[in-house]
Structure 1
Amino acid sequence: MGAPAKKRAQAEKKAQGSSNDSSSASRDPTQRSIPKSIPRLDGNRDPSLAAPIEYTRPVDLKNISEFLGAGGWYAARGITIPSSLPQRPKNFNTFGKETVITLNTFNVVKTPDTVVHQYDLHFTGDAQDYTKRVLLKKIFNSKGVKQALGEPSNLWVWDGNKLAWSGKRLDRDDYRITVDLDEEQGRPTKAGQRGNKHTVHLRHTRKVDFTNLRAFLQGQASWGNECIDTINFLDHVMREWPSQQYTQIKKSFFQRGEQRFDLGNGVEAFKGVFASLRPVLDDKFQKSLSVNVDVANGTFWRAQQLTRAIGQVFNCTPQQFQTRFKEARRDWKRSHLKKDLRVLRRVGVSSTHTKEPVQWTIEDFEDREATEVTFPDPDDRSKKITIAKYFKQKYNVTCMPGVPVVKMTKKIRKENVYLPMDVLSIDANQRYNTKLSDKQTSEMIKFAVTLPKERWAAVGHGVKLLNWANDPYLRHYGLQVSTTPAKVKARVLPSPNVHFGPGSKEAQLNPRDMVAGRWRLDGRKFAINNKDRPIKAWGVCAITGRGSVNPQAVQAFFQKFVQIYESHGGMVMAHPQYGKTPWMGPGNLADGGEMVQKVWNQTGNRYNQTPNLLFFVVNDRNVDVYRRIKKSCDIRFGVASQVLQAKHVLSASPQYISNVCMKVNAKLGGCTSVAKSNVIPKVAPKSASIPTMVVGADVSHPAPGAGSGEAASFAAITVSADPFFAKYWAEVQTNGNRVEMVTTSNIDEHFGFMANNWMQRIGQGKPPQRVLYIRDGVSEGQYAAVLEEEVRDMKECFKKLGCKELPKFTVVIAGKRHHIRFFPETGKGDRNNNPLPGTLVEAGCTHPFEFDFYLCSHVAIKGTARPIHYQCILNEGEWMAAELQSFIFEHSYHYMRSTTPVSLHPAVYYAHLAADRARAHLNENPVSSGKKESKADQQSSTGSSSKNVEIAPLMAIQNARGLKEVMWYI
């Protein structure tokens, strides 16, 4: 299909130029998050070449809109759209009940009918670095440039980088404008100083013609550069006016006066509006354009003195910070303080010691105080003067002792600039990019999660903020957007029959519980119990310390556990001497890994056999303690383990114990329930007899911020392990640093192992006829790579396993990072007026031609439900639309550890769980053989070079007792 991945990558590498941002890249919050390079959009790294970007080449994807679908991205790369790309089915799903859903999308009712001229911009002049967005913004918005371009009568649209559009063509196709920023600001350049003159070189590259877009939408033309250019231009027109009024972060806008919400540690949140234009199949089933409007929740640094911010970040007084700094200086490079201070890198600050504040950007913190750093004395350059002495003499400022000085990104006369932290103040409206702490996340959820009624009111507020009717750019170019939201006819798909084990009081869920999306396990037995792995040699370790539980409470809890587990059909073998009481004893965290060793030994000695289940009662939700326990149990002993919180053990609620029972049963080879379809036998009667394997995959990356340039990404793959698609095997491995596609070696080793397992256990020596591959979390630009790399590698695995006939692959991308929301009519949703489980939307917000749909399969406990966007990008297995939609929805009902349907297909959900659990398997020792290398998206202190990052593989699970055969990650 199209060009092979390798050739495509080579072609792109030749065609693309460098767009690495410098270390002193934009510190302006309105520009900081504009995508700097293709990886932000499609996962392919920009090569480090010095050649200028040529926008007339179709392979230069840097600036295109995300919402083009798979076909649009093929066309943008100059590759023929493969005939195998599934198109929208002719008929919509007719199963279930019809319901009316209001969407947060607004139709474009009028598009421009004039020709718009596109210009390529190139900046030259006195600056050393023309990748700084703040500088480019100053130049483009200067009086001299605006006047030369004919503003305000002729409004220009600029992408903030290298493209600009105008309704009028300039009198020359090569046009140069020179501007002196110092002169414009009324302070001419002094003798000996570097000048501030800049030239903007505009070159006419093409006309944006709207007739091609109309022809495409009417089905009379296929994807081409003209369509992509037009959508790209319209998307920028939509953003131009709001970006001038509000703080812009990508496609979201934040009004400066909005109410702040303190998240703690110097970080605050406030709400904004997200807006994005895209081609859709609209609510009237016309192929047109639509604008998606939603609430955006942004996290920002609090504008305050830097010293105060540091006190909040580290939750300490100035004296405590001085003590920490003193201790860290003993081994500064390896100190935790140096690492933790990275969170403040690239933060914009203003100096407060001068009459006019000067803006700077933090590069790093030094292991020296203001009394120890010297620089040439401005009054006598033959002498050196300390920062502390200079500030006292020049500004009468006494620098705070015992704290590090701050190194800035900007250099003066090629010398590094260092400033005392106590004369710096963090600038307002700067995005906080680092992962939030658990406490901050909890606060953010309180702030961000709102019920549908409030969410819809916020969408309305956002539409008013965008004020399309009075937008001068929309008016100038003739773009008109309706303020009436799209309303679509959706379907609530029929629920499956959910079956439990024989002997249950109610062997099947009643329809009322199915629609409510919540049921109880009382009186129900597991569909499959742990008869093959009964609990026999088991131990309980109650960790001592603050908040621990007394032994009597632990004993009472496990008596209840045995009673409830057996009531659900679980098997606990009675020991001749100890009956059904486990070994119980205290554990001390100070023992480290030896704590688990002691529990293992004492449990084994008691039963005179290797343990098959260990429980640990922990005192709080400390992730490090949790991972230490899991690492020992999984890697060293290969034993199923369950961690419980002390407070839950103390309360011993039957519902909590039932939830624990579900997880324990899964870890011992059982399964909670099985969903049987009411729809698929009608749509595809032969479906049940076709051997089918379901595969889920997810690649998770380290959170942005300190250390993420060296941290591992994790690739998790799950494979269905039974004919009901209830149980899943899972394999996880490191996947380089920020490498989005699952590597060939990971698929060979890990998918290959599970595929072989499937053939031996389920396929009776034969491969499946169909594979349904559900891939999580890739953007449209990466769809082709999923097929050309991951699916290709999976097919190779089957070849290596000796399969003469390869399975037919159907590939579905599951996306949750989108802004589409469903708002049912009052009284037609659940108690919060969220959509009912099974709500399927196929128009109003979907692609005009490709096979995608939005499905809300769960009940949102809090806030507004987020549907999942599913797009089918390959359908060799010839799944019918209704069959695929029902299959995905119905399986959400037998997620192993929940008595609710879940939002995402379990194959992908389990991949998330496995990836998260496998973080405990990180090999913290030095890198050994088997390392994975990737180019880190990281810059050195100068911002010019990248380095190879070596990522160690995970430590292998001890599988002597078959831990990998069960759902160890659940």
Structure 2
Amino acid sequence: MPPRGDTRGGPRGFGGPARGGRGGATRGGPPAHVTTSSHITTVGVKRPEFGTAGRPLPIFVNSFVTTIPEGIIHHYDGMSILSSIVTCIDLLFTTISPVVISPSEKTLPARLNMDLIKELQSSVAPQIFTPPVVYDGRKNIFAARELPFGDAITKEFDVSLGGIRPDTGGRGPKVYKIRLTKVAEINPEVLRRFIAGDQSHDNTVLTAITALNVVIRMEPTMKYPFNVRSFFTNRETKDIGSGLQLWRGYFQSVRPASGRMLINIDISTGTMYKAGPLLNLCLDFFGKADPASLEPRKGFPDRERLRLQRFISGIRVLTTHPGPDGTVQQTPRVVKKLSSAGANALTFTMREGGTMSVAEYFQRTQNRKLQFPFVICVEVGSGALIPLELCTVPPGQIMRKQVPPEKTKDVLDFATKKPRDRLQSIKDGLAVLAYGQSEYVRQFGMHVNSTGPLQVQARVLNPPVLRYGAGSKQPTIKPSNGSWNMVDKRFFRPAEITGWVVIVYEQQRRFGENNAQSMIAGLTASLQDVGIRLPQNYTPLVKWENGQGRIEDQLRAAGGEVNARYGKPPNLVVVILPEGGNDIYTAVKHFGDITMGVATQCMKAQKCKSAKPQYYANVSLKINVKLGGINTVPDPSSVSVLTDPHNPTIVMGADVIHPAPGSDGRPSFTALVANVDSDTAKYIACSRVQTSRQEMIEDLEEMSKHVLSKYVGYRQHIEKKAPGAAAPKRIIFYRDGVSEGQFKQVLEKELPLLKKACDDLNINAKITIIVVGKRHHVRFFPQNERDGDRSGNCQAGTVVDRDVSHPTEFDFYLQSHGGLLGTSRPAHYSILYDENNFTADALQSLSFALCHVYARSTRSVSIPAPVYYADIVCSRAKNHYDPQGTLNFSDSATQVEGSQADNSLDAFRRGFKPLHPKQALLMYFS
């Protein structure tokens, strides 16, 4: 498990004893076969026991056992790397201004830092740095011996890279001052105690794990492009156009487990800028070949220039210059922005007076006549303007911006590998990682078992029995490898369509009357097959509309026509979309969810033209729950935890999504989803807007009160429970999107808000908090083909809570879905708080069952349905804004800074509109 950001404290009680008469912080002492010492403190719940349910199955996991170093590790703070001589002169500047850049003013790139430390060890002070130290690229340096600084704990070094630079007027290269300060000694014994369950996860453990990660990553990061925990090689690449190339990479992370230290290894994908002339990259971005397309005089639009600028800003380029000795030298520069005029139209004032264009400058000073003088220039970090044709993009530069949506499929195709092929790639990666040949790994005394991946004992859980409605030939069904079908089955509670209308936004010549009637017939047949009631002798109104018009007015007018014809407005609006109709979709959802409170169902015209009954059956799943129906429920015998009449249970799912990197001024969105029925199949949702990139949910108290009130009201008024029996006695809170370093914040900030909501409503419920993690690299692989499913993955229900799990805390990995493409990812469940005293088997079977009640499919999904719904609700938050408004959600929106960003966030808060009251008890998000 990756290191946590906080020292573990004492028991987890907040505000006195837990409700229900028992302290929910530490769960008492674990059974004898879980060897956690009683004095150990944890952030999450101590493991109560291991699970036993299910069929045993040996599998492979992509982890490799490593030894723990024997000797003391010496920790140095190397963050004080600063440039002592920085010359601001550049091609078009006429003055020299030496300045000192401090770390607080400028953070140097990690790659530059690595190069400086390499130069320091090999050339500047090899007598001090033999054997070599390891460095994380930022501030941490670890040494296998104490560095000979004499009596001092701090030592400074001057380091420079390269020789005389032509752009410094012959003054020589930049000199960087590196100050190292010894901060600690790490005894690896703390790791041995930690994995044995005899040591709390404090800062010493955190730092020791960090040190081992830096050790194993040092060799590849010195050789290859790297990104935090992955590095990438050009052994396997794919050109995907738009100036981008994909490289295969390898992820590695040291993780403590029960009784051993492991290195988790996986393959990863890096998106790189295409190497070569910068001009070619810019042309490739637009899919063009003629440089004239980048000439402002020939109509190169400003909006396209800004789109290209967003793409290449921050990229490192090389420019060539004649050296004083006649040789050609290269200088690295960072692109800041693009000029609005061509090189021959951009002029600057000379130091001696007069003006000169950029094109003339290069002709006169370097005898370089530009081949494309009308093409725009780049402005680099120092302010210099350089023609595109004189810049070269070096290979191996990671593109750290969001991948363009149209390239997502290419990335997925490259990243997707069948389990057997993925495992083989991981094994092959061991040769690239070459732990045995790494002088760093050897110096620290680590030995990695590279003979093969770890073999662990998994269990395959029994799936829940699902119950369908009256009239089904098969009222209950047991899924097979996470899959089942709707043949001869009716929904558990079918909804009723009292009136509907069809609005087509595809051109009538492409989707005509015959297409519309065929779609209506197919959809009607599927709706009737599953039990949804439709009005007798009712012909839905069909209208063709222009997607460039005001969508809301068009929908409102169509509803008015239906009302005039049949005497009542429709309760379902079916919309047929053209390709690329995302803006229309957003406007339709805003109309249905926010403005009018009516169910809407969008379908693509192209899908409908060739649709088979299965397509409309899947659409029926969504329509039924949007209208208040229930598709299926888990049989009470399968999930006694949820259906115990003496302990009514509400299951919540919570999530936060953040804006894309670089999208300053845009907010984060939060969502809370919860069931309101006794069968945990009917869910409601609420969402909010909050401070950008803040992970903890600000409005959790208000949101919790909303869903708790709806739960109580539904059970009283719909299920006719007595007032005293309507409130929940158990709350199971699944939290998505939280990193392991933020677990403590969930307990300190979100748990009190949830408890406060209960107190305000006089609800005395015991709370269990479970974090569901998806962003990890643990993968399961069947040892034999016969043990896998048709995709080669482990079967749905494969659970592991030994061998790769946390040494002391209650967690498990569960692969709850059947495989389709590539290698399935199990979800990682960490139990942070548990007043309900659940067993491992109870929480594992409960979580597996909740993966089967996702209303939109007849397959189990990878995470519990309420968590999945919360993720969807977050993503749909833009539907809460007026589609005709000025707030921009597109990836091409201009970015803002500082106070502008604050004002923009305020605008997003003001513009966020609440859900229509009619949708409050409906699964509008399905």
1:28 aligns with: none
1:240 aligns with 2:209: no
Q: Is the 8 A contact 1:634 1:957 kept in 2?
A: no
User: Which amino acid in 2 is paired with 1:140?
Assistant: I
CA distance in 2, matches of 1:494, 1:649: 37
CA distance in 2, matches of 1:189, 1:610: 74
Q: Which runs of 5+ in 2 are unaligned?
A: 14-24, 27-42, 87-99, 323-327, 717-721, 888-894
2:728 to 761, 768, 777: 768
The Cα of 1:468 is off from its aligned counterpart by: 1.4
User: After superposition, what is the alpha-carbon deviation per residue over 1:70-108, rounded to whole angstroms, capped at 9, x for unaligned?
Assistant: xx54317x7887644544434321112111111001111
1:437 aligns with: 404
State the superposition RMSD in angstroms.
2.9
CA distance in 2, matches of 1:310, 1:599: 46
User: Which amino acid in 2 is paired with 1:226?
Assistant: T
2:152 aligns with: 173
1:860 aligns with: 819
What is the correspondence of 1:743-822 to structure 2 with a 5 Å cutoff? Answer: 743-744=698-699, 747-762=700-715, 765=723, 767-801=727-761, 803=762, 805-822=763-780
Given the superposition, is the C-alpha separation of residues 262 and 562 from structure 1 closer, same or farther in structure 2, using an over 3 Å criterion?
same
1:921 to 853, 875, 880: 880
CA distance in 2, matches of 1:546, 1:712: 39
2:108 aligns with: 132
* Count of residues in Structure 1 that have an aligned counterpart in Structure 2: 852
The Cα of 1:243 is off from its aligned counterpart by: 1.3
1:398 aligns with: 370
User: Which amino acid in 1 is paired with 2:848?
Assistant: F
User: Which amino acid in 2 is paired with 1:791?
Assistant: L
CA distance in 2, matches of 1:838, 1:667: 29
Q: Is the 8 A contact 2:44 2:830 kept in 1?
A: no
2:330 aligns with: 357
1:548 to 510, 516, 523: 510
2:231 aligns with: 253
1:505 aligns with: 473
Q: Is the 8 A contact 1:583 1:606 kept in 2?
A: no
Identity %, equivalent residues: 27
1:566 aligns with: 528
2:7 counterpart SS class: helix
The Cα of 1:688 is off from its aligned counterpart by: 4.6
1:482 counterpart SS class: coil
User: Which amino acid in 1 is paired with 2:184?
Assistant: R
Given the superposition, is the C-alpha separation of residues 144 and 259 from structure 1 closer, same or farther in structure 2, using an over 3 Å criterion?
closer
CA distance in 1, matches of 2:822, 2:453: 21
Given the superposition, is the C-alpha separation of residues 403 and 779 from structure 1 closer, same or farther in structure 2, using an over 3 Å criterion?
same
1:893 counterpart SS class: coil
1:703 aligns with 2:657: no
User: After superposition, what is the alpha-carbon deviation per residue over 1:644-673, rounded to whole angstroms, capped at 9, x for unaligned?
Assistant: 111222223111111111111011001211
1:356 counterpart SS class: strand
2:494 counterpart SS class: coil
CA distance in 2, matches of 1:172, 1:141: 25
2:257 to 280, 296, 321: 280
TM-score, normalising length from structure 1? 0.83
CA distance in 2, matches of 1:276, 1:551: 58
1:519 aligns with 2:484: yes
Given the superposition, is the C-alpha separation of residues 945 and 833 from structure 1 closer, same or farther in structure 2, using an over 3 Å criterion?
same
User: Which amino acid in 1 is paired with 2:533?
Assistant: M
Q: Is the 8 A contact 2:242 2:287 kept in 1?
A: yes
1:388 aligns with: 359
User: Which amino acid in 2 is paired with 1:520?
Assistant: N
1:829 aligns with 2:788: yes
Given the superposition, is the C-alpha separation of residues 435 and 147 from structure 1 closer, same or farther in structure 2, using an over 3 Å criterion?
closer
Q: Is the 8 A contact 2:296 2:375 kept in 1?
A: no
User: Which amino acid in 1 is paired with 2:361?
Assistant: Y
CA distance in 2, matches of 1:194, 1:553: 74
Q: Which runs of 5+ in 1 are unaligned?
A: 1-65, 282-286, 330-334, 929-937
2:89 aligns with: none
Given the superposition, is the C-alpha separation of residues 471 and 502 from structure 1 closer, same or farther in structure 2, using an over 3 Å criterion?
same
2:854 to 879, 895, 906: 895
What is the correspondence of 1:102-251 to structure 2 with a 5 Å cutoff? Answer: 102-108=60-66, 110-121=67-78, 122-124=80-82, 125-127=84-86, 128-129=100-101, 130=103, 131-133=107-109, 134-142=111-119, 146-150=123-127, 153-169=130-146, 170=148, 171-179=150-158, 181=160, 185=163, 193=171, 196-251=174-229
Bigger shift: residues 306-315 or 476-485: 306-315
The Cα of 1:709 is off from its aligned counterpart by: 1.1
1:963 to 916, 919, 924: 919
2:437 aligns with: 470
CA distance in 1, matches of 2:173, 2:396: 30
1:616 counterpart SS class: strand
1:633 to 592, 601, 619: 592
CA distance in 1, matches of 2:508, 2:85: 63
1:368 counterpart SS class: strand
1:847 aligns with 2:847: no
What is the correspondence of 1:480-499 to structure 2 with a 5 Å cutoff? Answer: 480-483=447-450, 484-499=452-467
1:312 to 284, 301, 310: 284
The Cα of 1:491 is off from its aligned counterpart by: 0.8
The Cα of 1:442 is off from its aligned counterpart by: 1.0
What is the correspondence of 1:25-64 to structure 2 with a 5 Å cutoff? Answer: none
The Cα of 1:321 is off from its aligned counterpart by: 4.2
Given the superposition, is the C-alpha separation of residues 635 and 454 from structure 1 closer, same or farther in structure 2, using an over 3 Å criterion?
same
1:123 counterpart SS class: strand
Given the superposition, is the C-alpha separation of residues 427 and 628 from structure 1 closer, same or farther in structure 2, using an over 3 Å criterion?
farther
The Cα of 1:185 is off from its aligned counterpart by: 2.8
The Cα of 1:228 is off from its aligned counterpart by: 2.1
CA distance in 2, matches of 1:551, 1:382: 73
CA distance in 2, matches of 1:546, 1:194: 70
Bigger shift: residues 437-446 or 656-665: 437-446
User: Which amino acid in 2 is paired with 1:734?
Assistant: V
User: After superposition, what is the alpha-carbon deviation per residue over 1:540-591, rounded to whole angstroms, capped at 9, x for unaligned?
Assistant: 01223287322112112212322221121101122xxxx1321112121122
TM-score, normalising length from structure 2? 0.87
User: Which amino acid in 1 is paired with 2:741?
Assistant: G
The Cα of 1:536 is off from its aligned counterpart by: 1.8
User: Which amino acid in 1 is paired with 2:151?
Assistant: R
CA distance in 2, matches of 1:608, 1:702: 45
1:297 aligns with 2:269: yes
Bigger shift: residues 78-87 or 858-867: 78-87
User: Which amino acid in 2 is paired with 1:896?
Assistant: A
CA distance in 2, matches of 1:752, 1:949: 29
User: After superposition, what is the alpha-carbon deviation per residue over 1:691-716, rounded to whole angstroms, capped at 9, x for unaligned?
Assistant: 111111111122224xx112232111
CA distance in 2, matches of 1:596, 1:119: 65
1:357 counterpart SS class: strand
The Cα of 1:279 is off from its aligned counterpart by: 0.8
1:664 aligns with 2:623: yes
The Cα of 1:193 is off from its aligned counterpart by: 4.4
The Cα of 1:161 is off from its aligned counterpart by: 2.2
User: After superposition, what is the alpha-carbon deviation per residue over 1:111-134, rounded to whole angstroms, capped at 9, x for unaligned?
Assistant: 221122222232352243352135
The Cα of 1:882 is off from its aligned counterpart by: 1.1
User: Which amino acid in 2 is paired with 1:420?
Assistant: P
The Cα of 1:269 is off from its aligned counterpart by: 0.9
The Cα of 1:957 is off from its aligned counterpart by: 4.9
CA distance in 1, matches of 2:558, 2:235: 54
The Cα of 1:620 is off from its aligned counterpart by: 1.7
2:665 counterpart SS class: coil
User: Which amino acid in 2 is paired with 1:280?
Assistant: A
1:689 aligns with 2:646: yes
Q: Is the 8 A contact 1:562 1:580 kept in 2?
A: no
Q: Is the 8 A contact 2:278 2:391 kept in 1?
A: yes
CA distance in 1, matches of 2:605, 2:522: 15
1:396 counterpart SS class: coil
